[in-house]
A and B are shown apart, each in its own frame.
Chain A
Amino acid sequence: MSTQLSPILTKFWDHPQSWTLKTYEANEGYAALKKALGMSQQEIVAMTKDSGLRGRGGAGFPTGMKWGFLPPPDGGPRYLVVNADESEPGTCKDTPLMMAAPHFLIEGMIITSYAIGCNHAFIYIRGEIVHVYRRLMRAVEEAYAAGHLGKDIHGTGFDLDITVHAGAGAYICGEETALLDSLEGRRGQPRLKPPFPAVAGLYARPTVVNNVESIASVPPILLHGSEWFKDMGTEKSTGFGIFSLSGHVNRPGQFEAPLGITLRELLEMAGGMRGGKKLKFWTPGGSSTPLFTDEHLDVPLDFESVGAAGSMLGTRALQIFDETTCVVRAVERWTDFYKHESCGKCTPCREGTWWLSQILERLEHGQGSEADVDKLLDICDNILGRSFCALGDGATSPITSSVQYFREEYLEHLRLGHCPFDRDASSYFASDKESASA
């Protein structure tokens, strides 16, 4: 394997007290803030732009450019809101990052707030990870006590407060405008864009919404320079990112690597496929990104290459499924998820996800007909590009890609009148059972 891992944000996660300010300071913590406070706002924005950092929350929008979209100051408030809702199936990078090293995020927020002229920043964290919420509250407390937050930070005249806000269980609140509505105390439903949050976001004021990992990457960039960051990754997908491998591999986990690493390389690092089984399908960036198969082992995992191969880099949530897995069962379950999480605002998604889920349930049980497979595609066609937000689009990804690669398996269900797979064979406990009977 040629690509090496690059532990930066994960560097000291193995420290027994990795989350404390003390540990962070022993690892260059808050050195970037010190440097940033000696720079002008424009310089920080320019440096972030130069680094090529692209949003780590899924869409890959250039972070520095997003900050640059804020209108000129009018004297009123502008806000930074960190998206810590992490709920896309397969995505599990921000949660361990905030649990193990929350100060990366806090320092990144202080620098970003300073750069964009924000005096009150928010973290919107999903409510279902209570210990992570505790760690964030504690980190904010420590940062206040150290004078990194509050009034007149380190004598610069810059004031900043951070509020950590817990959501209450709704995937759609990860969509940035739904998140803002939720943070305003409403049902979390997406807003019409434009206006974009940069112009009218939280309380209709200019707002930057960024993912946890995007903001956590700011301190290392500030400290080591944009060239340092650009030296990693590919030309258009610069830097490093956390890749999360889950499912049927020997050692699932988090791998921080330059963008452009391949699944083949990552699989080797994860000890290969469980039980030497064959890779069947995988998601490159969460369930909303079209499935890949073993044909795609060598696709460089950067925004451009994954896109060119027909999927999306998304959140680098690599869910790996081996040959024991029924793809129809997997897709049916994801579809149930979208149906459950559809906010109901627009018709294609609200109605379409329910229809899709009914048809898939039939097919998984070997009922229905081949026409149902085409009906799935037809409904997807009516959801994709016609929904109000990207949740509806995402719901179609697993379906259309699975039919593209595994149509025969759908038909096999119909021929047999039941699912051809033994679900126990794909479970986590299966390996013990196998070795016991072997």
Chain B
Amino acid sequence: MTTDQTASGHLTVSAESKSPYPADVLAQLHEDAALVIARYPQPRSALLPLLHLVQSVDGYVSGRGIALCAELLDLETAEVSGVATFYTQYKRHPNGEFTVGVCTNTLCAIMGGDQIWESVSDHLGVGHDETTSDGKITLERVECNAACDYAPVVMANWEFFDNQTRESTIELVDDLRAGRSVAPTRGARSVSTFKQVSRVLAGFSDGLADEGVGAGPASLVGLRLAHEHNWKAPGRGDVGDEHSPDASAAGQAGGLTPGLTSSTDTPSNAPDERPGQTPTTPTTTTAKGDT
């Protein structure tokens, strides 16, 4: 489970990770990849989601996954590896079922993230980017996760666990290892697996968007205070809810037809082509700029 990575940080790909995908898995991957690629004007933009997709099947960025992305997007495998190794969410060796990330950026560290990190690392007997021997948990120190008002923060498979303590985090990892369902503070009803979450990050909905809260208590501190004091944003100004007929008329007078746009998405220029060579005609007859 360990040591696919050399000391210098290069990705060494185990032979096993290059063994071909079973036919049914490959067919599904091709089907999904086609949907991902179709979202973008240019195929290469699909690379990041495709790498998430590879992780949803292999649990990390495998050699065969890199080869597949290269083939699908007409890139060199070296180009794909170059991208995969740039981003911290792409794992270079098999990841645990749950990534547990303790924020140790300044604010969280000072609020106790350092102490949480030490206790949980001790408790699990693993360090940064290491996985427990049962393959359940990959432990990480993470950077600021945009939840500073809930410090100290711990992420489990990129779901928020707010206002953590040493004890709560140890309980969290114990529950995850024991296969108990664990509810994030703000997120889905329970934490999904690394592979499931990777599929979401590839842009495939898992239908859980409506679970969980809209906002946690810290997000609402200002709003609650405003309610208490009956503070409201000022009333509307001179432009009301109604369309202003004058404004529209002014637009028309300038020869502009509201509702028509001057751009198109297809076909767009090829990857390294310079702008201005697209053959499409604008949908408007009047050329108009906003300058």
Contact = CB atoms under 8 A, between A and B. Distances in A.
Contact of B219 (A100, A120, A129, A168): A100
Interface in A300-341: 317, 319, 321, 325, 329-330, 333-334, 337, 340-341
A267 interface: no
Contacts, number: 424
B247 A43 contact: yes
A130 B200 CA distance: 8
B22 interface: no
Contacts of A205: 268-269, 275
Given A90-B144, A127-B158, A170-B87, A14 B73 contact: no
A223 interface: yes
Contacts of B188: 131, 134
A74 B203 contact: no
Nearest to B99: A128
A200 B269 CA distance: 12
A76 B264 contact: yes
A117 interface: yes
Contacts of B145: 128-129
Contacts of A164: 203
B203 A337 contact: no
Interface string B92-126: 00000000010011110111101100000000000
B112 A130 contact: no
Contact of A87 (B106, B109, B143, B233): B143
A366 B123 CA distance: 30
A245 interface: yes
Given A166-B52, A253-B149, A89 B105 contact: yes
Nearest to B271: A203
B220 A333 contact: no
Contacts of B259: 37, 155-158
Interface in B37-72: 39-42, 44-49, 51-52
Interface stretch (A181-189, A347-355, A369-377, A385-393): A181-189
Contact of B149 (A42, A69, A246): A246
B131 interface: no
Indicate the size class of the contact surface on chain A.
35 or more
A204 B158 contact: no
Contact of A252 (B149, B202, B256): B149
Interface stretch (A55-63, A356-364, A407-415, A422-430): A422-430
B86 A187 contact: yes
B178 interface: no
Given A156-B259, A429-B112, A131 B212 contact: yes
A114 interface: yes
Contacts of A89: 105-107, 143-144, 148
Contacts of B202: 166
Nearest to A206: B275
A337 B105 contact: yes
B247 A118 contact: no
A61 to B, nearest CB: 16
Contacts of A99: 186, 214-215, 219
A424 B158 contact: no
A163 interface: yes
Interface in B170-213: 184, 186-188, 197, 200-203, 205-206, 208-210, 212-213
B61 to A, nearest CB: 10
A71 interface: yes
Nearest to A427: B112
A77 B41 contact: yes
A19 B290 CA distance: 33
A287 B222 contact: no
B15 interface: no
Interface in B109-162: 109-112, 114-115, 142-152, 155, 157-160
B9 interface: no
Nearest to B272: A204
Given A167-B89, A228-B238, 16 more contacts: A6-B231, A7-B233, A16-B213, A35-B241, A42-B254, A75-B278, A118-B263, A130-B159, A130-B201, A157-B283, A166-B52, A169-B88, A227-B239, A232-B233, A240-B233, A333-B109
19 contacts: A13-B214, A19-B214, A40-B254, A41-B288, A71-B291, A99-B186, A120-B41, A131-B188, A131-B212, A157-B261, A168-B48, A169-B87, A186-B47, A188-B86, A203-B271, A225-B237, A227-B239, A253-B217, A428-B151
Interface of A: 4-8, 10-11, 13-20, 28, 31, 35, 37-43, 45, 67-78, 86-92, 94-96, 99-101, 114-120, 126-131, 133-135, 137-138, 141, 155-159, 161, 163-171, 182-188, 200, 203-206, 223-229, 231-232, 240, 243-247, 251-257, 269-270, 287, 317, 319, 321, 325, 329-330, 333-334, 337, 340-341, 423-424, 426-430
- Give the top 7 A-B pairs by smallest Cβ distance, nearest first: A40-B251, A253-B221, A228-B237, A225-B239, A156-B259, A18-B214, A185-B47
